[in-house]
Amino acid sequence: MKKYIMAFDSGTTSCRTLIFDSEFNIVSSAKKELKQIFPKPGWVEEDPNEIFSTQLGTAVEAMAKININAKDIVSIGITNQRETTIVWDKTTGEVLYNAIVWQCRRTSKYCDYLKANGHRDEIYQKTGLEIDAYFSATKIKWILDNVEGAKERAKNGELLFGTVETFLIWKLTKGVHVTDYSNASRTMLYNINTLEWDEELLNLMDIPRCMLPEVKNTAEVYGKTSREFFGEEIKISSAVGDQQAALFGQGCFKEAEAKNTYGTGAFLLINTGDKRVESKNGLVSTIAWGIDEKITYALEGSIFIAGSSIQWLRDDLKLIDSAEDSEYLANKVDDTEGCYVVPAFTGLGAPYWNQYARGIICGLTRSVKKAHLVRATLESMAYLSNDVLKAMEEDLGELKTLKVDGGASSNDFLMQFQADIINREVIRPENIESTVRGAAFLAALGVGMFKSIDEILKKFNGDKKFEPNMTNETRENKLKLWHKAVSRAFDWAED
C-alpha cells in the first residue's frame, strides 16, 4: 500500500493542505482563503474557528481528490503563520477573542512604554527579538487586559494561549497543548539561551505561566488526531513556523545558507548553526528548529508586506484580476516612470523597525499609468529584501547567492529584478513549495522515515538561476530614490 505525508500550511491569508507521496512529490492539494478582519486602522484579526474549520476542510478535500483515507497517511506536519495569538477556554475550547494576527499594530504604544522603561536590551538578550507589536507577548497581554474577566480566569488556570499550530493541535487531538522551539521563539516570552519560558518576562507582562504550551522538538510525535475528524487516528509529528519551515525545505542545513520567502510578507533567514548570532543591524535571532534536543539558530529579517501588496492591487484597488497579471503588466513598461511604492501598511520591519510607518506612493506624475504602479509595487519587494540582505551581510559577511521560494517567487520579472538590485545570483528551486515541503520533511523525520537530515538532501532536484544584469550606476540611482521614499513613510501614524 502507498503511504503519504499530509502537510498543513496554515497561512495568513489562506489554509492549504498538500499531500506528499513517499518520494515527496505533491500528489494532491486543496486551498481556501481566510477572511481577515480590520476593526481599526492598523488592527488585523481572524476568526480562530474559521482557521480550524478551513484547515480541516482542505485536508478532507485533498484526501478525497486522490481517494485515500486516514490509514494511508503516516503523519501530519504543520507549518503556520507565526506570532498570531489565540486565547481560549481550557475546558470548553471557546475562544475569548479573535486571533490577533502578527501584522496587527494595536500594541505599539505598549511596546513604546517597554522601550522607554529600559526593557529593550533585556528582552533582546533573552529572546533575540526586538520589542515590537509583531510578536505574541503584547497581544496576549492586550487580550487579558481588554476582555472582561480574562485576567482573573487566566490566573485561575482556566485559559490557554497558543499560536496557530498550538490551537490546531489542541483541537485535533482534543487537548494536547504543545508548541515547538521555532514557534516558541517568536512569542517574546521564550528564553532562547536557556530554552525555557522566561519568568521575568511573564511577570513583566503579567501573563500567567499556566497559559503557555509545553515546548517540544520540531520533529517528534505530539499526539494523534481524534477519530471524529478523519475516521481514524493520524499522528501529528511536526510543527514549525512557516519561515523556519522554508529554510528547512530549501535544504539550508549548514551555516551561512540563506533563503528568502515571498509570501504574505517576505522573510530572509540565514542558518547560524548551533550559535546564536546577535545582530548589530536590526535583525532578530531566532530558533530555526530543534531536532533530538539539538537547537539550530537563525538570523532573520522580517518584511511585513510582500505578496499581500499584490493582493491589495487585486482586491482593493482592482488594478489586476489575478496575481499573474502583475508580471504581465510590469513587463509592458520599461521602468516605473519614477514612481515608488513603499507598502508599509502595518509599519516597517527589519532593518527599520518603525511601528508608525505607513504605506505611501512617491513620485507620481501624469505619465504614471496602471502598469507603472503595478511594477513599482513588485519592485518594492526586491528593494525591501535588499535592505534586509545588506543588514545581514554587515553582520555575517558577503553572501554569494540567495535561494528564493514562496508564491511571488514564481514571478520571473520580480526574481530578475531581485537579482539586479542585490547584484547577486538568485536561485529558485524547481518546486517553490519550500515551506510546506519543509513541514512534510520534518513530519517524516518525526516518525522515523528519515534517519538523519542528510538523507533529506537526496530529495532535492533542479532549480533556475537569475543572474544580475543591471549597471552599477542604474542600481545606485534606483536605491537612492528608494531610500528617499522609505524615509517619507517613517512615523506617519505617530501622534
CATH number for the domain harbouring residue 107 = 3.30.420.40
Question: From first to last of its 495 residues, what are the pLDDT tens digits of the chain?
Answer: 689 999 999 998 899 999 999 888 899 999 999 999 999 988 999 999 999 999 999 999 999 999 999 999 999 999 999 999 999 999 999 999 999 999 898 999 999 999 999 999 999 999 999 898 989 999 999 999 999 999 999 999 999 999 999 999 999 999 999 999 999 999 999 999 999 999 999 999 999 999 999 999 999 999 999 999 999 999 999 999 999 999 999 888 888 888 998 988 898 999 999 989 988 888 889 999 999 989 999 999 989 889 889 999 999 999 999 989 999 999 999 999 999 999 999 889 888 989 889 999 999 999 999 999 999 999 999 999 999 999 988 888 888 788 898 888 999 999 999 999 999 999 998 877 888 999 999 999 999 888 888 888 777 776 789 999 999 999 999 999 999 999 999 988 887
Has residue 450 been placed in a domain?
no
Q: Domain containing 25: what range?
A: 4-243
Has residue 64 been placed in a domain?
yes
Measured between alpha carbons, how far is 115 from 342 in angstroms, rounded to an integer? 26
Has residue 209 been placed in a domain?
yes
Measured between alpha carbons, how far is 372 from 163 in angstroms, rounded to an integer? 39
**Which amino acids are annotated as binding site for glycerol, given as ranges?**
82-83, 134, 242-243
**Which amino acids are annotated as binding site for ATP, given as ranges?**
12-14, 264, 307, 311, 407
149: left (phi over 0), alpha (psi -120 to 50) or beta: left
Q: Can you give the pTM of this predicted structure? A: 0.84
Has residue 215 been placed in a domain?
yes
**Which amino acids are annotated as binding site, given as ranges?**
12-14, 16, 82-83, 134, 242-243, 264, 307, 311, 407, 411
Has residue 301 been placed in a domain?
no
Has residue 369 been placed in a domain?
no
CA angle 307, 383, 476 (to 5 degrees): 160
Please answer whether residues 184 and 287 qualify as being in contact, where contact means their C-beta atoms are separated by less than 8 angstroms: yes
Q: Which helix (H) or strand (E) covers residue 146, if one does?
A: helix 136-146
**Which amino acids are annotated as binding site for sn-glycerol 3-phosphate, given as ranges?**
12, 82-83, 134, 242
Q: How many domains does the chain have?
A: 1
Cell numbers describing residue 247: 529554510
**Which amino acids are annotated as binding site for ADP, given as ranges?**
12, 16, 264, 307, 407, 411
Measured between alpha carbons, how far is 436 from 222 in angstroms, rounded to an integer? 18
One-letter-per-residue 3-state SS of 164-206? HHHHHHHHHHCCCCEEEHHHHCCCCCEECCCCEECHHHHHHHC
Measured between alpha carbons, how far is 269 from 421 in angstroms, rounded to an integer? 18
Has residue 315 been placed in a domain?
no
Measured between alpha carbons, how far is 307 from 295 in angstroms, rounded to an integer? 30
